[in-house]
Amino acid sequence: MHNYRKINSDVFYVGASDRRLALFENIYPIDRGVSYNSYLVMDEKTVLLDTVDHSVSREFLDNVEAVLSGRKLDYLIVNHMEPDHCSVIAELVIRYPELAIVGNAKTIQMIKQFYSFDVDSRAHVVKDGDSLSTGKHNFVFAFAPMVHWPEVMVSFDTTDGYLYSADAFGTFGALSGNLYADEVEFDREWLDDARRYYINIVGKYGVQVMNTLKKASSLPIKMILPLHGPIWREDLGYFIGKYTTWASYVPEDKGLLLVYSSIYGNTASAMDLLASMCAEKGIRNIHMYDASKTDCSVLVSECFRYSTIVFASPTYNAEIFPKMETLLLDLKAHAFQNRDVAVIENGTWALSSGRKMTELLSAMKNIRILEPSVSIKSSVKDGEREQLAVLADALAASVNKAE
Ligand SMILES: Cc1cc2nc3c(=O)[nH]c(=O)nc-3n(C[C@H](O)[C@H](O)[C@H](O)COP(=O)(O)O)c2cc1C
Ligand SMILES: [Fe+2]
Ligand SMILES: [Fe+2]
């Protein structure tokens, strides 16, 4: 059954949403689902921009067939060769035998790695800055390497001013009828997922994202059409601004984040006490998480969000508690940088989690470790209470100086 959407007289949304998938990339929980967007342009030649994940292939194929209504499909522009967008290429080639596949040399190579149909005979290879005219529409290709994979490019239709932005400007979250960001409460209902998507999926490649934003800033963009989540046709500056913040690794919000691991609750109690002290010093926007309870993708995203962060962990078999260690390793993997942090350790006989957390954090770029690093021997006593109070002062100073 088709359920395509008309964006303008020539351009149609032919993607679909999946609300059944538990884990995107088999690792990121997506309680709100995800959409796989695809766009079909009905010009003198017909042009499809990317396909979808196999999970929504039936809806997608029905949409394409309905919009084409008997016409053949001339071009498939492949902006991104990751399987969440290219799963249906082989099926399209069977259905539309004259289909030409537009991609760069890396894209074409990847198609050959994933599939075994004859790619070369239908490949239309483009270079950075090349364009493709399909009649009324004219697509200019700008390479965006590592925004998410090395072959990624974005396509700009100079006729409509539409930027087909691949994974950039995407977000987790299924579309529920409303196709445009201005039709939903984006800031309230989508932004957390958009941040979590960006940080976890492309957060490591801030430099490359900034390069792409720079390239795009010279284009007269009227609409941004990403491969996941709603389309942007109003207030583009809001979302471009968010991307600029995230990609440049500066805190998005002035605020304090407290993340702990705790087996029996003593480290958790210490963090609750610290939080109370911080609140009494006037710190607003304090957020606290248990690293065993909250998914790591949320924690990484929150770490990118706030200006000042405390990590607390018991010593566990002479190591950092595994959930906390995973978080710190994941932050490193995402090039986390430019933050004020503090470390609290706990242990009963030989404390080492503090030193090990400090080592991991010190290996990241421009991380300032606030004093004192607090050591708790099993539970908070008077001396440790005093240390936490001194730390609360340092945290207040850090949050207040944050932009
Ligand atoms: C499996 C296990 C291994 C531990 N290994 C160490 C250790 O190597 N060194 C240490 O000082 N304490 C170790 N501890 C003790 C805890 O770090 C300590 O009891 C701490 O106070 C627990 O804090 P919590 O109440 O927040 O869980 C271990 C505890 C458990 C359960
Ligand atoms: Fe991707
Ligand atoms: Fe994607």
3-state SS, 241-308, equals: HHHHHHHCCCCCEEEEEEEECCCCCHHHHHHHHHHHHHHHCCCCCEEEEECCCCCHHHHHHHHHHEEE
Residue 200, helix vs strand vs coil: helix
11 DSSP β-pair partners: 41
Digit-coded pLDDT (tens) for 287-309: 999 999 999 999 999 999 999 99
Residue 375 reports pLDDT greater than 80:
yes
Q: pLDDT confidence of 63, banded at 50, 70, 90?
A: very high
| Any atom of ligand 1 within 6 Å of the Cβ of 262 | yes
Distance CA 301, CA 200 (A): 7
- For the chain, the domains span 5-247, 257-396
- What whole-number distance in Å separates Cα of residue 96 and Cα of residue 75? 10
Q: Per residue in 85-124, pLDDT tens?
A: 999 999 999 999 999 999 999 999 999 999 999 999 999 9
Give the integer Cα–Cα distance in Å for 314 and 368: 22
Query: CA 385, 389, 395 angle in degrees (round to 5)?
Result: 140
What is the whole-number distance in angstroms between the Cα of residue 84 and the centre of ligand 3? 6
CA 53–ligand 3 middle distance (angstroms):
9
Instruction: Round to whole Å and give the CA distance between 380 and 385.
Output: 6
Tokens at 243, concatenated: 């991307």
Q: Is the domain 5-247 a CATH 3.90.1150.10 member?
A: no
Secondary structure of residue 140 in the 3-state scheme: strand
Does residue 403 surpass a pLDDT of 70? no
Options 1.50.10.20, 3.40.50.300, 3.30.2130.10, 3.40.50.360; CATH for 257-396 is: 3.40.50.360
Confidence of residue 402 (pLDDT cuts 50, 70, 90): confident
**266 CB less than 6 Å from ligand 1?**
yes
Q: Give the residue, out of 262, 317, 320, 324, with the most ligand 1 atoms within 8 A of its beta carbon, to mutate for a pocket test.
A: 317
pTM (2 decimals)?
A: 0.96
pLDDT in tens, 9-22: 999 999 999 999 99
Q: Which two tokens stand for residue 330?
A: 């994941």
d(CA 154, CA 143): 6
Helix 236-247 vs helix 206-217: angle between axes, to the nearest 10 degrees? 150
Q: What does the angle CA 254 – CA 258 – CA 259 come to, to the nearest 5 degrees? A: 130
Report whether residue 378 contacts ligand 1, using a CB cutoff of 6 Å: yes
